[in-house]
Amino acid sequence: HTRWSGDWSSDVCSSDLGTKIMVDDDKFVDVKDLKVGDYVKTYKHGLKKIKFVYNKNHLNSRGLLQQIRKLDNGVYLTGGHSVLLDNIPDGVPEKYRDLGKIDDKQLCLSVYAENSIMIENNDLYKVYHIVLENEDIYGRYGVFAGDNIENIVLCESLSYDWYNKYK
């Protein structure tokens, strides 16, 4: 696992706009319904227990990396939250091209993900973070977000270190 670093804010796992997280091979739960003790399906590490759920209000007018984005599968993230990809797309600025990896996937800010659409308003949203049990306080996992197994994206869980510093 890589440590979180950089000058952006990895601000959400998902928002209150109906984003669902995979909790089993064929079951998705709305992120706002997840609670401590629930299990989440991870990319390479099976089911992991939720250690903390953190949510906060988020004003959707604070700049490119903070603006809420909608991915084509109905997942909502801030522009500064990473999705996990095999390769970084062309056109990503150099300072955001090497944000590290989770397992064998590259971290790519959702603002630069294909089919990422900015939600252009000044509304207040509730954003959610989940921290999964991990022996490494900097460790994060790839988690599946979407509405069904054919229509998912990998995004990152929050590390315990980040949660402790910024909650």
Q: pLDDT by residue (tens digit) across 108-123?
A: 999 998 888 898 888 8
Please choose, from the candidates 46, 72, 56, 77, the residue with its C-alpha nearest in 3D space to the C-alpha of residue 141: 46
**pLDDT at position 11:** 38
Q: Mean pLDDT over all residues of the chain?
A: 84
Q: What percent of the chain stands above pLDDT 70?
A: 90
Can you give the pLDDT at residue 125?
Answer: 87
Mean pLDDT of 96-101: 92
Q: What is the pLDDT of residue 164?
A: 85
Closest among 161, 155, 160 to 76, alpha carbons compared:
155
Using a cut of 0.75, tell me whether the model's pTM lies above it. yes
pLDDT in tens, 10-22: 334 555 678 889 9
State pLDDT tens for residues 33-87.
999 999 999 999 999 999 998 888 888 876 788 888 888 888 888 888 899 999 9
Selection from 52, 47, 17 nearest residue 34 by Cα: 52
